[in-house]
Amino acid sequence: MASMSLTLAVDLGGTHIRTASYNDESITPISRYRTRTNAREPGVFDRLAQAIENVWNDDVTSMGVASPGPLDPYTGTILATPNIPEWRNFPLAQKLSARFGVPVHLDNDANMAGFGEWTFGAGKGHHNLVYLTISTGVGGGVICNDALLQGFHGLATELGHMIIDPDGPPCGCGKNGHVESFSSGTAIARYTTEQIQAGQKTSLQLDGAALTAKQIADSALAGDSLAISAFARAGQYLGIAVANYLAIFDPSIVIFGGGVSQVGDLLFKPFEKSLYEHTFHPHYLDNLVITKAALGDDVGLLGALAWARFKRNNESTRAE
């Protein structure tokens, strides 16, 4: 009689910790749990361990974790993530593995989301895929030649931190002119705020609380021209960024995830115009698919699930 084998998936986000356990062959969880991360308060690891306990089952044989980076996926160590100040060179995979007694496979959230979309979502069957998440930041995950691109230190495909204008605005990371400093939700809000402070007319109000990309999107949809131009600018630079990713990776599909990518034409009409204008050679666009992510809020969990299964299959093959 074949023993049952379950996989446990963890999506450790800046706001929420999500956990779920899955039977083999299924992407519908047996059990799932969600709690607040409270990332800036002590005890993140204990909250995480408790969230895992809540979906634990003794048939679990491996665990996958999608975590904020930068991190070292080969050792499972979080280097230093801005969201969780108490973790510096924190051996997360090792600690989870010691506590739960199963192998733990870790990579950053964008890589896991890209791997999830490739395995279960919009990118199934593609051999060269670029996944981009546009939310408060900009992250990327890339499949080249049917393999996740991780790189020598496991730090590959930090696509949001590609410099597209050395004199551009500051990025959350402290450098300047990154894709993230033009096209993230944070960048859209900062640009809009600066324009209001400079006297641009708008229906938006600066009343002490920081503007959000969501508020600006609502104003844009109501016809506010500053709000429209803020998304147009983000889309213009996103087109430059993706033209670069085409020249670099030549993918057959580009997948957009993340909250800001939900705004639709506000961002993507200017994006498309800019992409066509900046693409190095028109042949890159032949049969190229540009599409939205398919896995929704579960993309982190499903990516971690896909990765844990992949690593288990890969390592058992090697051991034979």
* Structure letter (DSSP) for residue 265: H
Given 98, 206, 210, 248, the residue binding a copy of itself (CB under 8 A) = 248
Cα dihedral 15, 21, 26, 30 in deg (nearest 10): -100
H helix or E strand, kind and range, residue 107: strand 104-108
Angstrom distance (rounded) from CA 239 to CA 278 = 7
| Nearest distance, CB of residue 161 and a copy of itself, angstroms | 4
Q: Does 280 bind a copy of itself (CB under 8 A)?
A: yes
Nearest to 173 by CA among 81, 294, 41, 240: 81
CB atoms near residue 274 (< 10 Å): 20
Q: How many residues does the chain have?
A: 320
**Interface pattern 172-191 for a copy of itself (x via CB under 8 A):** -x-x--x-------------
Site string for a copy of itself, 43-82 (x = CB under 8 A): ---------------------------x-x------x---
Q: Provide the β-strand partners of residue 71.
A: 78
286 binds a copy of itself (CB under 8 A): yes
249 binds a copy of itself (CB under 8 A): yes
Residue 132 interacts with a copy of itself (CB under 8 A): yes or no: no
- Contact between 125 and a copy of itself by CB under 8 A: the answer reads no
The one among 31, 250, 272, 292 contacting a copy of itself by CB under 8 A = 250
Q: For a copy of itself, give the closer residue by CB, 153 or 201.
A: 153
If DSSP codes are grouped into helix, strand and coil, which group holds residue 99? helix
Nearer to a copy of itself by Cβ, of 128 and 212: the residue is 128
Angle among Cα 171, 175, 179 to the nearest 5 degrees reads 50
Taking the complex as a whole, the smallest distance from the CB of residue 137 to a copy of itself amounts, in Å, to 12
Q: How far is the C-alpha of 97 from the C-alpha of 81, rounded, in Å?
A: 21
Say whether residue 273 binds a copy of itself (CB under 8 A). no
- Nearest residue (CB) to a copy of itself, 17 versus 84: 84
Angle (nearest 5°) at CA 10 between 9 and 13: 150
Pairing mode of beta strands 31-36, 60-67: unpaired
Task: Tell me the closest approach of the beta carbon of residue 71 to a copy of itself, in angstroms.
Answer: 10
- Decide if residue 92 touches a copy of itself (CB under 8 A): no
The rounded distance, in Å, linking the Cα atoms of 16 and 319 is 36
List interacting residues with a copy of itself (CB under 8 A): 70, 72, 79, 127-128, 144-145, 147, 149-159, 161-167, 173, 175, 178, 240, 243-244, 247-252, 278, 280-281, 283-284, 286-288
